[in-house]
């Protein structure tokens, strides 16, 4: 077990390292000659020398990795926030992204699972058909269309909620009521798809479990349908659902680029877009690796959580 | 004597046919055998939702093909004055829909101004027209008055009108700077067709009409005397002017006092020379008819126009074309690469499989958005490829992984089956085994999974162009994502700009998903016979 986990993590690190190497080399080919800020020339020169800008690419990569390993230093931003560390630039953008996605998950997962259970219990009745059709449409429609819709209806038409997210200075803290209210629209637009996805998943898994033989046995030994469902069917249906929930929670730090753009959320997404537009390559490199890491972490967490949730799934045996 | 010898001794004559005279009751099958694809198609047809989805996809494709051919506009066509126009169709407006109207709440002055446009339109000679004539006019911008409300603020009551105002006619008149020869041409055209274009010039700030008579002399619709926007009659009482109310004007008790530019004989003037020698002149035209003069047809945009004056219908067709061409290119290329890669992996197995699997492992872990961005930076910024090519490369780089994985699994499943061994024993080559015996089994699965990948491509492309990571906005090229981004900024005032692209992309996504699901059910042999 421990051996398997270590093996997976090492493999992940290896892949991460290879991707980092490729992206680093590609970006360094492109990096422009930054014009030196006259007043800050000394600082800038020092920073560049520390990062080995005058050395061959492979050496630069070595310095880059060494800085990360020893000092957790992912380079310096030369454009977006002058001379800030890339880690700081990303870290200060994390709270809104995490908050919005967290709220959205808290809202949509119970709702999705609840509706999914209902649909599975009513399988092939009209309630199920209606729900399945709605869900099919809800899954297909792109999230930004929901964003436009809620922004138009709640923001412009009925003027109930703020159109874009409130700046931190005005709202007075991440957890203030003003902040929460201004986050409602992005939360809503993120939730539609998640609810639909969760519901479809739950319905599929639960209908499969409900038709299995141990359910028949449970009914035969005298349990009512409700008892059998709660005690036996749900437990088993949760086996594939839980890992996907866990992976959603890992994924929340990634956020949604387009939703953040529409509602001007000061999250990680806009940093990425800005770093491209301003050609701030260190930040771009940092955010790229951030996204890569989240992707890798999600898969590994899902794979490992299967083993913890259901001991029948043996580790390492594929 | 052993048995074998005994059997040998039986002479041929001793044999006879056992069933020679019997009647055979079972017949040879006369119906045609049902092939895999035919069977799948038959099952697909039973799935109504998928069939409807397929029809919608075909309709959208037809739209993207035929609208650019039949439309009177081109992708690059724009008239900056005709921006934010509402959907209008010359045919459908006879039935009271698609009239190009937008709901507006008009104040008294604004309402008077709208009727003023109608009155001025009927009065090309400057001889005066009545309020009733203005309302009857073809060019009267108000289509329908929903409600007239009266508010009382601080003892003063004021009316406002909630109306459906035609976005095409409400522009009224505008000033144009043209060459003198152009003026003659317009005049000749006007006489030939009988469509009024040239209207009297307004006396802009001379001694006869002080500047206070009109708020804004650059506004060509301000053809009557006003005091801070309120229509007035001058020189009629001691104060020098008399404010007019809408009621007075409506009843005909008072009329607008025009401030047209007239010569000594009191005739209205249709142009003012602006350059020496009279080569250039300013004219006042009715914007709507000037458009007809310029382009030879009435302005009518079925989906309206956007903020630059582009026709949304044709831009949308262009965007759909781009999305679909991209999606289908990705579909075919991924299909090809994935098949070859997966077949080699799956068929040969062993070390080859291991190495190829690791390669695809790494590739699949690179976030797509980073690939797309890097390709844009590398190929487009340096001019090595166009935006679309670079995007295609990005899709192709990792897109085939799913197909390859599926093909590989299917090959593992089928390559150890007896029929494959039989074929190999008969001397079939590797290539023949792969192409003829194993590959066809994987086809159904791959087709469905590839088609289910199409909405993803469309979604990603529109997201990237929305975010501006790929730039596809131009006079000859646009994308749905760009249209959405442009529309989002002005959603409050002009929701129609974003409505149609958002509607179409949602329809595309829903249809492709339903279609793909239908195909998956149809190709999945485990369902065979379950539906009777």
Convert the pLDDT of each residue in A165-177 to its tens digit: 888 777 777 888 8
Identify the DSSP state of B99: B
Q: Which of B49, B377, B466 sits opposite A30 (nearest CB)?
A: B377
Q: Specify the DSSP element, H or E, that contains A96.
A: helix A94-121
Q: Is B288 left (phi over 0), alpha (psi -120 to 50) or beta?
A: alpha
Question: Beta partners for B105?
Answer: B162
Residues of A in contact with B521 (CB under 8 A): none
Question: Hey, are the CB atoms on A145 and B506 less than 8 Å from each other?
Answer: yes
Cα distance between residue A303 and residue B181, in whole Å: 78
- Is the CATH code 3.40.50.1370 the one for domain A96-266? no
CB distance B518 to B47 below 8 Å: yes
Task: Please report the sign of the dihedral spanned by the C-alpha atoms of residue B340, residue B346, residue B347, residue B349.
Answer: positive
- Of residues A50 and A148, the one with the higher pLDDT is A148
Question: Beta partners for B158?
Answer: B151
Q: How crowded is residue B530: how many other Cβ atoms within 10 Å of its Cβ?
A: 7
Question: Hey, are the CB atoms on B491 and A272 less than 8 Å from each other?
Answer: no
Three-state DSSP class for B76? Answer: coil
Q: What is the pLDDT of residue B532?
A: 31
Q: What is the pLDDT of residue B6?
A: 67
The vertex-B525 CA angle with B522 and B531, nearest 5°, equals 65
User: Of B364, B360, B333, which Cα lies nearest the Cα of B345?
Assistant: B360
Cα distance between residue B480 and residue B503, in whole Å: 11
Max Cα-Cα span within chain B: 153
Residues of B in contact with A27 (CB under 8 A): 374
Identify the DSSP state of A79: S
Question: Hey, are the CB atoms on A288 and B469 less than 8 Å from each other?
Answer: no
Q: Which of A136, A144, A295 sits opposite B513 (nearest CB)?
A: A136
User: Of B390, B387, B376, B393, which Cα lies nearest the Cα of A279?
Assistant: B376
| Token reading at B434 | 């792969």
Q: Specify the DSSP element, H or E, that contains A65.
A: helix A57-71
**C-alpha distances out from residue B45 to A173, B450, B527, Å:** 57, 20, 14
The residue in chain B having the minimum alpha-carbon distance to the alpha carbon of residue A134 is B510
Cα distance between residue B165 and residue B148, in whole Å: 14
User: Of B371, B366, B375, B395, which Cα lies nearest the Cα of B461?
Assistant: B395
Long-range Cβ contacts of B120-126 (<8 Å, 24+ apart): B120/B172, B120/B173, B120/B199, B120/B221, B120/B223, B121/B172, B121/B196, B121/B199, B121/B286, B123/B258, B124/B196, B124/B198, B124/B199, B124/B200, B125/B200, B125/B268, B126/B200, B126/B258, B126/B260, B126/B262, B126/B267, B126/B268
Q: What is the pLDDT of residue B213?
A: 66
Q: Which of B48, B363, B365 to mutate to test the interface with A (most CBs of A within 10 A)?
A: B365
Cα distance between residue A103 and residue A123, in whole Å: 30
For chain B, count helices (H), then strands (E): 17, 10
CB distance A260 to A186 below 8 Å: yes
CB distance B252 to B243 below 8 Å: no
- Whether A162 and chain B come into contact, CB under 8 Å, resolves to no
Max Cα-Cα span within chain A: 84
Q: Specify the DSSP element, H or E, that contains B160.
A: strand B156-166
What's the pLDDT tens digit per position in A183-223?
999 999 999 989 999 999 999 889 888 888 888 899 899 88
- Whether A107 and chain B come into contact, CB under 8 Å, resolves to no
- Whether B514 and chain A come into contact, CB under 8 Å, resolves to yes
| Token reading at A295 | 């992707």
Cα distance between residue B143 and residue B166, in whole Å: 6
- Of residues A171 and A240, the one with the higher pLDDT is A240
Cα distance between residue B90 and residue B457, in whole Å: 37
Burial of A287 (0-12, 13-18, 19+ CB in 10 A): buried
Task: Please report the sign of the dihedral spanned by the C-alpha atoms of residue A139, residue A143, residue A145, residue A149.
Answer: positive
Per DSSP, helices labelled H in A122-267 are 126-140, 143-150, 168-171, 177-210, 213-220, 225-228, 234-251, 257-262
Place of tokens 């650059």: B218
User: Of A286, A282, A164, which Cα lies nearest the Cα of B491?
Assistant: A164
**What average pLDDT is seen over chain A?**
85
The vertex-A214 CA angle with A212 and A220, nearest 5°, equals 115
- ipTM for the complex? 0.87
Question: Hey, are the CB atoms on B463 and A258 less than 8 Å from each other?
Answer: yes
| CB < 8 Å from B in window 274-313 of A | 276-277, 284, 288, 291-292, 295-296, 299
Reduced 3-state DSSP string for B203-235: CCCCCCCCHHHCCCCCCCCCCECEECCEEEEEC
Three-state DSSP class for B385? Answer: coil
pTM of the complete model: 0.85
Question: Hey, are the CB atoms on B365 and A145 less than 8 Å from each other?
Answer: no
Q: What is the pLDDT of residue B330?
A: 92
Q: What is the pLDDT of residue A196?
A: 92
Q: What is the pLDDT of residue A314?
A: 61
Cα distance between residue B215 and residue B208, in whole Å: 16
Chains A, B: CB pairs < 8 Å: 93
Q: What is the pLDDT of residue A185?
A: 92
Cα distance between residue B362 and residue A271, in whole Å: 25
Tell me the domain boundaries of chain A.
2-92+270-297, 96-266
CB distance B261 to B200 below 8 Å: yes
Q: What is the pLDDT of residue A317?
A: 47
The residues near B258 (Cβ < 8 Å, ≥ 6 apart) are B123, B126, B128, B200, B223, B224, B225
Question: Hey, are the CB atoms on A140 and B484 less than 8 Å from each other?
Answer: no
Phi, psi of A236 (to 5 degrees): -75, -35
pLDDT in single tens digits along all 532 residues of chain B: 566 666 677 777 777 777 777 776 776 767 777 777 888 888 888 888 889 999 999 999 999 999 999 988 888 888 888 889 999 888 888 887 888 888 888 888 888 888 889 888 888 887 878 888 888 888 899 888 888 888 887 777 788 889 899 999 988 898 888 888 888 899 899 999 988 889 888 877 655 555 566 666 778 888 888 877 788 887 655 567 778 888 888 888 888 888 888 887 878 888 888 766 778 888 899 999 999 999 988 888 999 998 888 999 999 999 999 999 999 999 999 999 999 999 999 888 889 999 998 888 888 888 888 888 888 888 877 778 888 888 999 999 888 998 899 899 888 888 888 999 999 999 888 889 888 888 888 888 888 888 888 999 999 999 999 988 888 888 888 999 999 999 998 988 899 999 999 999 999 999 999 998 888 888 876 654 443 3
How does residue A107 score in pLDDT terms, banded at 50, 70 and 90? very high
Q: What is the pLDDT of residue B531?
A: 38
Question: Beta partners for B156?
Answer: B153
Question: Hey, are the CB atoms on B509 and A23 less than 8 Å from each other?
Answer: no
């Amino acid at each position: 077990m421990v051996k398997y986990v270590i093996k997976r993590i090492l493999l992940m690190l290896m892949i991460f390292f290879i991707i980092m190497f490729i992206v680093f080399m590609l970006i360094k080919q492109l990096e422009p000659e930054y014009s030196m800020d006259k007043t800050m020339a000394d600082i800038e020169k020092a920073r560049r020398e520390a990062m080995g800008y005058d050395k061959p690419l492979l050496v630069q990569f070595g310095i880059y990795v060494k800085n990360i390993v020893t000092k957790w230093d992912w380079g310096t931003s030369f454009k977006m926030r002058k001379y800030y560390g890339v880690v700081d630039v990303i870290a200060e953008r994390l709270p809104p992204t995490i908050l919005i996605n967290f709220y959205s998950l808290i809202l949509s997962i119970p709702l999705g699972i609840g509706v999914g259970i209902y649909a599975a219990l009513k399988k092939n009745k009209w309630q199920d058909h209606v729900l399945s059709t709605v869900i099919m449409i809800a899954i297909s429609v792109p999230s930004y269309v929901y964003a436009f819709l809620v922004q138009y209806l709640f923001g412009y038409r009925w003027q109930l909620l703020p159109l874009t997210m409130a700046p931190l200075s005005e709202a007075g803290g991440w957890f203030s009521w003003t902040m929460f209210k201004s986050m409602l629209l992005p939360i809503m637009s993120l939730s539609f798809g998640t609810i639909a996805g969760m519901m479809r998943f739950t319905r599929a898994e639960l209908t499969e479990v409900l038709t299995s033989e141990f359910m028949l046995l449970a009914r035969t030994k005298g349990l009512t349908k409700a008892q059998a469902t709660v005690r036996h069917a749900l437990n088993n249906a949760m086996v594939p659902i839980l890992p996907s929930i866990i992976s959603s929670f890992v994924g929340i730090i990634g956020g949604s680029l387009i939703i953040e753009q529409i509602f001007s959320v000061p999250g990680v997404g806009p940093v990425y877009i800005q770093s491209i537009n301003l050609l701030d390559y260190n930040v771009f490199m940092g955010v790229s690796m951030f996204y890569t890491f989240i992707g890798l972490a999600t898969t590994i967490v899902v794979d490992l959580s299967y083993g913890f949730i259901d001991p029948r799934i043996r580790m390492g045996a594929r | 004597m052993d048995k074998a010898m005994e059997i040998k001794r039986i002479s041929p004559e001793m044999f006879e046919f056992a069933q020679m005279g019997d009647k055979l009751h079972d017949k040879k099958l006369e119906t045609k055998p049902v092939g895999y694809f035919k069977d799948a198609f038959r099952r697909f047809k039973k799935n109504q939702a998928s069939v409807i989805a397929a029809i919608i996809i075909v309709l959208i494709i037809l739209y993207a093909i035929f609208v650019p051919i039949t439309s009177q506009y081109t992708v690059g066509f724009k008239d900056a004055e005709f921006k934010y126009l509402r959907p209008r169709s010359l045919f459908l407006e006879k039935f009271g829909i698609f009239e190009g109207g937008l709901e507006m709440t008009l104040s008294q002055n604004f309402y008077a101004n709208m009727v003023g446009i109608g009155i001025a339109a009927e009065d090309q000679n400057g001889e005066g027209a009545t309020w009733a004539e203005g309302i009857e006019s073809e060019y009267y911008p108000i289509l329908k008055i929903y409600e007239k409300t009266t508010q009382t603020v601080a003892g003063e009551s004021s009316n406002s009108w909630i109306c459906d105002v035609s976005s095409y006619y409400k522009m009224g008149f505008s000033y144009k700077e043209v060459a003198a020869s152009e003026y003659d041409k317009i005049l000749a055209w006007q006489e030939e067709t009988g469509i009024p274009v040239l209207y009297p010039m307004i006396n802009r700030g001379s001694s006869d009409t002080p500047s206070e008579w009109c708020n804004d002399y650059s506004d060509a619709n301000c053809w009557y005397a006003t005091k801070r926007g309120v229509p007035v009659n001058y020189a009629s009482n001691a104060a020098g002017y008399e404010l007019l109310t809408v009621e007075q004007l409506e009843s005909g008790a008072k009329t607008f006092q025009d401030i047209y530019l007239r010569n000594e004989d009191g005739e209205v003037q249709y142009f003012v020379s602006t350059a020496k020698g009279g080569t250039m002149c300013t004219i006042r035209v009715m914007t709507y008819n000037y458009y007809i003069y310029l382009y030879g047809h009435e302005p009518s945009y079925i989906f309206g126009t956007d903020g630059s004056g582009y026709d949304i219908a044709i831009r949308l067709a262009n965007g759909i074309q781009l999305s679909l061409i991209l999606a289908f290119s990705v579909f075919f290329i991924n299909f090809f690469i994935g098949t070859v890669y997966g077949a080699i992996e799956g068929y040969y197995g062993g070390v080859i499989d291991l190495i190829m699997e690791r390669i695809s492992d790494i590739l699949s872990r690179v976030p797509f958005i980073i690939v797309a961005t890097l390709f844009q930076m590398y190929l487009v910024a340096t001019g090595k490829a166009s935006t679309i090519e670079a995007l295609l490369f990005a899709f192709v780089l990792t897109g085939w992984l799913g197909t390859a994985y599926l093909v590989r699994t299917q090959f593992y499943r089928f390559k150890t089956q007896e029929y494959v061994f039989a074929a190999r024993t008969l001397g079939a080559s590797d290539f023949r085994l792969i192409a003829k015996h194993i590959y066809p089994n994987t086809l159904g699965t791959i087709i469905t999974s590839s088609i289910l990948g199409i909405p993803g491509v469309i979604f990603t492309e529109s997201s990237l162009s929305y975010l501006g990571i790929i730039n596809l906005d131009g006079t000859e090229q646009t994308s749905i994502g760009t249209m959405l981004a442009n529309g989002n900024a002005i959603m409050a005032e002009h929701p129609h700009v974003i409505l149609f692209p958002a509607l179409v992309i949602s329809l595309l996504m829903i249809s492709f998903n339903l279609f793909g699901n239908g195909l998956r059910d149809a190709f999945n042999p485990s369902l065979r016979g379950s539906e009777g």
